[in-house]
Amino acid sequence: MDKSSINSVYRILAKKIGEPKTELNYRNPYTFLVSVVLSAQATDKSVNNATKDLFKVVKTPKDMVALGERKLKGYIKTIGLYNSKAKNVINLSKILIKDHKSKIPSDFNDLTNLPGVGNKTASVYQNEILDIPRIAVDTHVYRVSNRVGLAKTKTADQTQEILEQITPKKWLKTAHHLLILHGRYTCKSQKPMCDQCVITKHCLYLKNEKN
Ligand code: SF4
């Protein structure tokens, strides 16, 4: 896809979606990181439902360690994979206390060294909290990018690399949200709603369907 079309894709999506924001609720950088860890293979809505009560009692790594794994599971048991997520959240909280004075590190490698924090979570954190323009690639971003023709890759990490190279500077900060929201509500996994899509003119998937 040429530069002008790439720019158009983001411009048109931004016009439709407006100023995109994370749909996860949080109180501070720590609770945001916990929410993102909990959101792996789960909906933001299910995470918000669980953290509504959890974040009334937990606001810091020390609060989380004091709560303990068993009680944490009680708060998050409606979220998929809650057993392993609870273990990760307790362990990452212990590491934050021990190695980072209870603060969240800003370095990408330090972030991905925390239990449960992979490239996607670290990128989402850097983008949302540190204002570092990263394009975290979840299932929606991966699907939309490869359908539209922004990327042609086999893995999420490759897609992130390509997107961060080709996305105009102006859209680097919001690209992740624009592509997620487009994937979540229009370019759905099973049945993309092409008849309601605003970027049909630029979509490779649609062009191939017609041929
Ligand atoms: S035209 Fe269809 S496949 Fe292409 S981006 Fe829009 S919804 Fe997705």
Q: How close is the Cα of 178 to the center of ligand 1, in Å?
A: 14
* pLDDT in the model for residue 76: 98
- Specify whether the backbone of 191 is left (phi greater than 0), alpha (psi in -120 to 50) or beta: beta
CA distance 176 to 124: 8
Which residue of 13, 179, 199 sits with most ligand 1 atoms within 8 Å of its CB, as the best mutation to test the pocket?
A: 199
- Asked: is 3-20+135-210 a CATH 3.90.1010.10 domain? The reply is no
* pLDDT in the model for residue 210: 72
Domain with CATH 1.10.340.30 in the chain: 29-129
CA distance 188 to 206: 14
* pLDDT in the model for residue 107: 97
* pLDDT in the model for residue 19: 83
The DSSP code for 103 is S
Rounded average pLDDT per 10-residue block, the chain, 211 residues: 95 93 94 97 94 98 98 96 97 98 97 97 96 93 97 95 96 94 96 96 89 69
Domain with CATH 1.10.1670.10 in the chain: 3-20+135-210
Q: Is there a contact between 4 and 10 (Cβ–Cβ < 8 Å)?
A: no
* pLDDT in the model for residue 208: 87
Q: How close is the Cα of 185 to the center of ligand 1, in Å?
A: 11
- Asked: is 29-129 a CATH 1.10.340.30 domain? The reply is yes
CA distance 180 to 165: 18
Ligand 1 pocket check for 156: Cβ under 6 Å = no
* pLDDT in the model for residue 122: 97
Ligand 1 pocket check for 150: Cβ under 6 Å = no
Q: In the annotation, is 195 catalytic?
A: no
**Residue with CA at minimum distance from ligand 1 atom 8:** 187
Instruction: Output the DSSP codes for 144-208.
Output: HHHHHTS---SSHHHHHHHHHHHS-GGGTTTHHHHHHHHHHHTS-SSS--GGG-S-GGG-HHHHH
